[in-house]
Each structure stands twice: as structure tokens, then as C-alpha cells.
Amino acid sequence: MKIVYFAWLREKAGVSEETVSPPDSVNDVRGLIEWLRARAPGYAGAFEDLSVVRVAVNQEYATLDARLAHGDEIAFFPPVTGG
Amino acid sequence: MGIVIRVQREDFDVGAELDRLAADRGSVGGLCAFVGLVRDMSGQRAISAIELEHYPAMTERALEGIAAQASARWPLDGSVVIHRFGRLEPGERIVLVGTASAHRQAAFEACEFIVDWLKTKAPFWKREHTDAGRRWVEARASDTAAVGRWGRGDAAGRGPSKSARGGPKKAAE
């Protein structure tokens, strides 16, 4: 699956987009975050406070409970500040 | 009923966009426009520029969804949303939301609805450049509160005949 990061989440994670292959046990957004957190300190920083992390799966807003499938595009970003 | 969505780096011409919104639509009795600009101050700090980042794959779809919801709630003849990204300096235009309808109330309310939703859902992020460095703008609780007054994102209902919020703007109608 593909993961994209924006704004300060991108800076903390240290990557703007990446393709990952987590184990099959990772089947929802929350699980993916836990798996990423364990990979490197940057991710732990990016996901330190989930109240300021928004998620989109395949370009639609999603919750931490959203199920994931192979080929999904998951985006992590802070609350939006356009307009 | 036409919905025009554009996400672009370059500036836009407000007058031309509004003319286009009414062109060949004799039923349009009024246009309402909101134009967002880059401020020169953030709190006590002078801003030299802002950067706007967005999520290209999602941005247009999100804006289209918001505009479509406005069309479902109010009898609109058309709407336009143009949002810029990249580096912008104080005074520059950031966003245009325009609505066209037979009567002003629908145009006013739908315009506010689109702006309120855009501010909480459209995937854009601002970073301010000041003499103290660069910092990501934090989302404001007041923006979330503003969108709350429209109720749930229910596209089934028509627009409310009266806004839930009073205030000077309504008093002017």
C-alpha cells in the first residue's frame, strides 16, 4: 500500500510518500500507525498525538477503525488550514 | 447547474469568474462571492509570505463534494470554487467561492456553507513565513464551530429558510 504525508506530519515522518508492505495482521488504520511507529523515531514523533492526525483512505476521510486492503492509498495529515 | 472547481498556482480574475457564473443563465438573480486574502500579520508577527500545500489527488474531489452538497441544499444556478497553492504574499488572493441563484438568500447561505466546509475539509495546509522563521498554521476551533451550525452533512434537506446564526450580515438583508 501507498502512504502519503502532508505538512508537519511529512516533516516529522521524514518522507512525503512511500510504498509499504506491512504484515497481514495490519488490517486497519490504527494497526498501520502502530506498525509505522515501531519502525523509526520519526514516525513515533509524527503519530505522538493522534488527536491532531487526520486520515484519508483512497482520497476519502476515514477513521482509525477503517479497514485497509492491498493497493490502498492512505494519507496522514494535520487538521486542514486552507481557505 | 454548473459547478466549477479549480486548484491552481496562478491568480484568478474575480470579475471574470463571476461574469462566467451568470453568463447564459437568465434565471440568476444574484451572485455572492467570498474572496480570501493573505493577511500581513499573524498575532503580533509580520508575515512576509505563506506557503500553501495540498493533496492533489484529493483536493478537487473534496471541493466538488462540498459544492455538490451546497447545490443539494439550496436552489443554485451555479457555483465556482478556485483555490490557489504555492507561495503567496500578503494581499494576494487565496480562494474564491462564488454562488449564483435566483434569490440572494440561497446565494449568501450557500456561499457561507461552502467556505465553512472548505475550511474544515479541503486538504490544504498553510505555513507562515515570519521574521521568527516558518511555522505551520494550526487549525482553529472556531472553524469547526462554524461548520457545526449547518448540521450534519445531509444533502437530502433543502437549505434552512433562516440561518441558525443571527448577526449583522443577516440584519442587512
Residues of chain B with C-beta less than 8 angstroms from the C-beta of A77: 55, 123, 125
pLDDT value for B151: 84
**Which triple of cell numbers denotes residue B128?**
507562515
Phi, psi of B157, rounded to the nearest 5 degrees: -80, 150
Contacts of B67 (CB under 8 A, 6+ apart): B3, B5, B79, B81, B114
**Cα distance between residue A58 and residue A2, in whole Å:** 10
What single letter denotes the amino acid at residue B64?
A: E
B42 CB-near residues (< 8 Å, 6+ apart): B128, B130, B137
Residue B161 confidence (pLDDT): 37
Is B150 in a helix, a strand, or coil?
coil
Q: What is the per-residue pLDDT for A11? A: 97
Side-chain-side CA neighbours of residue A69 (13 Å)? 1
Out of A59, A77, A83, whose CB is closest to B95? A83
Q: Where are the alpha helices (DSSP H) in chain A?
A: 7-13, 29-37, 41-46
pLDDT in tens, A17-72: 999 999 999 999 999 999 999 998 999 999 999 999 999 999 999 999 999 999 99
Q: Model-level pTM greater than 0.90?
A: no
Tell me the chain B residues in contact with residue A61 when contact means C-beta distances shorter than 8 Å. Answer: 121
Give residue A4's pLDDT.
98
The alpha-carbon gap from B136 to the nearest alpha carbon of chain A, in Å, equals 7
pLDDT tens profile B9-60: 999 999 999 999 999 899 999 999 999 999 999 888 999 999 999 999 999 9
User: Which B residues in the span 5-24 are in contact with A, Cβ-Cβ below 8 Å?
Assistant: none
Which among B57, B94, B124 has the least Cβ separation from residue A80? B124
Which amino acid is residue B13, in one-letter code?
D
pLDDT the model gives residue B167 = 34
Query: Is the predicted pLDDT of residue B160 greater than 70, yes or no?
Result: no
Average pLDDT, chain A: 96
Of B57, B125, B137, the CB nearest to A59: B57
Q: Closest chain A residue to B128 measured between Cα atoms?
A: A81
Q: Which of residues 101-160 of B touch A (CB under 8 A)?
A: 115, 118-127, 136-139
> Cβ contact (<8 Å) for B55 and A77?
yes
Q: Does B58 touch chain A (CB under 8 A)?
A: yes
H or E stretch covering B66: helix B56-73
Distance from CA of A47 to the nearest CA of B (A): 16
Contact B58 A75 (CB under 8 A): yes
Q: What is the pLDDT of residues B65-112, one digit of tens each?
A: 999 999 999 999 999 999 999 999 999 999 999 999 999 999 999 999
Chain Cα centroid distance, residue B53: 17
Q: Put residue B102 in one of left, alpha, beta given phi > 0 → left and psi -120 to 50 → alpha.
A: alpha
**In this predicted complex, what is the ipTM?**
0.95
